[in-house]
Amino acid sequence: MVATTESVVRAPKGADLTAASTLLWDRLRDTAALTGLRDQAESGILTLRVAATFPAEQAAEAHRLFEVGGVRGRPVLLF
């Protein structure tokens, strides 16, 4: 695994799904690891759920959306 893993949750029997909580703080300057994550995302191995995209000027709204909760996926800022 490229990123450090805090915990792994297995899906119910019969489901083809594994979720992992990852922490990337210690990998911010590890360009090889970040390149590996990018490659996995681009190839479809690592799937990302995006709740909504926001222009950088609406960063406060994106943050509010995340704090409120109940949203599937992450808000993404576009620069």
Q: What is the pLDDT of residues 58-70, one digit of tens each?
A: 999 888 888 888 8
For residues 79 and 66, what is the distance between their CA atoms, to the nearest angstrom?
19
Residue 5, amino acid: T
pTM reported for the whole predicted model = 0.45
For the chain, the first-to-last Cα distance in angstroms comes to 29
Among 37, 11, 12, CA closest to 22: 37
Residue 22 has pLDDT above 80, yes or no: no
Q: With contact defined as beta carbons under 8 Å apart, do 21 and 7 qualify?
A: yes
6 pLDDT higher than 80: no
- Taking only the tens place, the pLDDT of each residue in 25-57 is 777 788 888 898 889 989 999 888 888 899 999
Q: Provide mean pLDDT across the span 8-12.
A: 58
CA atoms within 13 A on the CB side of 74: 6
* 7 vs 30, residue with greater confidence: 30
